[in-house]
């Protein structure tokens, strides 16, 4: 890019967004998409992904179309751009017919620079026909991991994006995500026909975040105690169910904390009020389902608590990434119970076989992370294909308070023997019963009470053996 064009970009960066310089690879990414090259961005939450398509939309000829998965995310970003004096709009199910007509008219006359579109809206024939008439500079696919069946937030509508874009025209694409394992990365590129795209991948290491896992015993009391240590600070508490969100929010308010719930079952006006209250610091704590936070630009979130175990390490990483976006300290606490894993597995029982198997693998990885004594930062970075060479990160509970170690070879051998002697086709609970010598209708009906391994682990309790088996048979570090 010419020096004059670079000056224009940096001028817009300062004039519109108030930044005096780019962060990391932002400038190279922006130049790449402006040169009409397909661009794939993998960048942690808080590193400035949105700017990578917002800024080029201001200097490119034509309209930038942003495919975004959540209505709340669209609204937040449109509000932000409008506040900067940029005409950005969205097309989704919340608009009336007259509002849709107005937005389309403004796109056609060139007064809109950024158009956010839900994937469901993109697939409607009338919207495809409309977009064919618009002068489009490029297409941004935000939260691109939604394309992959191996991603933590798979959205079937995202699989149609490639064919829809092909109908609209030969357009450059910028795909962006904060969470992509090597397998998900390849899946995204294949499904968007972007195998030859220029890849910009930033480190996943958030050095200012402290990762901690606590056994979930008296979770409400544990939560209250943690929040007392962070009184008056901004934080997010994630729960898996809407019912639990409201229950925890109410409990916190009763105990003197300034908290509000957020989930899809609340009226839109209440959700918006609670979200704005959090952003404007009228509310300290939001108790939410996982949808809250995507694209929320609040730099001073000091803690993120997972009251329930997340469905995947990718989801966990993305949600913890909403803490400490200003570069200052952020505490990421997860309450862990294997009962939560069991509940999540039951939720998956009605899914198609392949989807159920994918979910099971993701939950196994989550369980291993929570139970492992290995540095949590090393585990997370390893999961995303990045090496971490330090022995002690100083920023997780396993490094700051190492667990007692003892020789576990004999336990591992027994776990493997139990699996082999039972034919490698029985679940966790059955293997534990065999190891502990529990005689019941199942161990008896398969004659597993006659096996050599039966009862050889009767000195240890059920949870001990479950932990050994999960860590032995899931991964080898």
- Give me the chain's average pLDDT, please: 88
Q: Which of the four pLDDT bands, split at 50, 70 and 90, describes residue 6?
A: confident
**Residue 45 DSSP symbol:** T
- Counting the structural domains of the chain, the total is 3
Last residue of a domain, one of 201, 221, 256: 201
Residues 235/285, Cβ–Cβ less than 8 Å: yes
Are residues 379 and 447 located together in one domain of the fold? Answer: no
Q: d(Cα 320, Cα 152) in Å, to the nearest integer?
A: 14
What pLDDT was estimated at residue 275?
Answer: 87
What pLDDT was estimated at residue 477?
Answer: 36
- Share above pLDDT 70 across residues of the chain, in percent, rounded to a whole number: 94
Which pair of tokens denotes residue 35? 């040169």
209-246 burial, b at 16+ Cβ within 10 Å, e below that, comes to bbbbbbebeebeebbeebbeebeeebbbbbbbebebbb
**Residue 403 DSSP symbol:** P
Q: Read off the pLDDT of residues 162-190 as tens digits, 9 standing for 90 and up.
A: 999 999 989 999 999 987 788 888 999 99
Q: Which of the four pLDDT bands, split at 50, 70 and 90, describes residue 235?
A: very high
- H or E element: which one contains 40? strand 39-42
Last residue of a domain, one of 151, 167, 201: 201
> What average pLDDT score do residues 19-41 get?
93
Q: Read off the pLDDT of residues 409-450 as tens digits, 9 standing for 90 and up.
A: 888 888 899 989 998 888 878 998 999 999 999 899 999 989
Which CATH number is 430's domain given? 1.10.10.10
- CB neighbours (10 Å) of residue 247? 16
Are residues 140 and 244 located together in one domain of the fold? Answer: no
Last residue of a domain, one of 201, 226, 250: 201
Residue 389, Cβ density class (10 Å: 0-12 exposed, 13-18 middle, ≥19 buried): exposed
Residue 94 φ/ψ region, left for φ over 0, alpha for ψ in the -120 to 50 degree band, beta for the rest: alpha
> Which residue segment(s) compose the domain that 141 sits in?
3-201
What pLDDT was estimated at residue 302?
Answer: 97
Are residues 134 and 230 located together in one domain of the fold? Answer: no
Which pair of tokens denotes residue 229? 């240590």
Higher pLDDT, 294 or 433: 433
Are residues 383 and 432 located together in one domain of the fold? Answer: no
| Complete edge-to-edge strand list for the sheet that includes strand 285-288 | 209-215, 330-336, 301-306, 234-238, 285-288, 259-262
What pLDDT was estimated at residue 476?
Answer: 40
What pLDDT was estimated at residue 475?
Answer: 43
Q: Which phi and psi (to 5°) does residue 232 adopt?
A: 85, -5
What pLDDT was estimated at residue 315?
Answer: 87
Mention every residue, 6+ apart, whose C-beta is less than 8 A from residue 367: 309, 338, 341, 470, 474
> What average pLDDT score do residues 149-170 get?
83
> What average pLDDT score do residues 380-400 get?
92
């Amino acid at each position: 890019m010419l020096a004059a064009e670079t000056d224009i970009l940096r001028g817009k960066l300062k004039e519109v967004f108030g930044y005096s310089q780019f962060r990391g690879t932002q400038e190279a990414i922006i130049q790449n998409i402006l040169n009409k090259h397909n661009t794939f961005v993998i960048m942690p939450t808080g590193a400035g992904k949105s700017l990578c398509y917002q800024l080029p939309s201001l200097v490119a000829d034509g309209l930038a179309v942003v495919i975004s998965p959540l209505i709340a995310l669209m609204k937040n970003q449109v509000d932000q751009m409008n506040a900067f004096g940029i005409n950005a709009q969205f097309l989704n199910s919340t608009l009336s017919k007259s509002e849709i007509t107005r937005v389309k008219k403004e796109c056609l006359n060139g007064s809109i620079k950024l158009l956010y579109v839900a994937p469901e809206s993109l697939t409607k024939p009338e919207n495809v026909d409309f977009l064919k008439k618009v002068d489009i500079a490029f297409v941004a696919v935000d939260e691109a991991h939604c394309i992959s069946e191996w991603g933590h937030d798979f959205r079937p509508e995202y699989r149609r994006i490639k064919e829809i874009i092909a109908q609209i025209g030969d357009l450059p694409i910028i795909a962006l995500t904060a969470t992509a394992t090597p397998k998900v990365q390849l899946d995204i590129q294949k499904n968007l026909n972007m195998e030859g795209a220029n890849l910009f991948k930033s480190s996943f290491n958030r050095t200012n975040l402290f990762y901690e896992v606590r056994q979930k015993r008296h979770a409400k009391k544990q939560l209250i105690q943690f929040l007392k240590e962070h009184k008056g600070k901004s934080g997010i508490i994630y729960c898996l169910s809407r019912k639990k969100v409201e229950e925890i929010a109410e409990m916190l308010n009763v105990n003197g904390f300034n908290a509000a719930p957020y989930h899809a079952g609340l009226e839109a006006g209440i959700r918006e009020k609670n979200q704005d209250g959090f952003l404007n610091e009228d509310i300290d704590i939001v108790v939410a389902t996982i949808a809250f936070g995507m694209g929320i630009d609040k730099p001073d979130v000091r803690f993120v608590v997972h009251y329930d175990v997340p469905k995947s390490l990718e989801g966990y990483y993305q949600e913890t990434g909403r803490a400490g976006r200003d570069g200052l300290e952020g505490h990421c606490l997860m309450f862990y119970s294997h009962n939560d894993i069991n509940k999540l597995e039951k939720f998956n029982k009605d899914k198609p076989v392949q989807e159920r198997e994918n979910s099971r693998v993701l939950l196994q990885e989550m369980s291993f992370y929570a139970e492992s004594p290995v540095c949590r930062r090393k585990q997370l970075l390893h999961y995303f294909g990045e090496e971490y060479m330090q022995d002690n990160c100083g920023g997780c509970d396993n490094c700051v308070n190492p667990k007692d170690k003892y020789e576990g070879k004999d336990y591992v051998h027994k776990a493997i023997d139990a699996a082999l002697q039972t034919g490698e086709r029985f679940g966790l609970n059955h293997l534990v019963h065999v190891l502990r010598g529990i005689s019941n209708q199942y161990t008896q009906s398969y004659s597993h009470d006659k096996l050599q391994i039966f009862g050889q682990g009767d000195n240890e309790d059920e949870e001990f053996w479950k932990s050994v088996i999960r860590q032995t048979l899931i991964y080898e570090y």
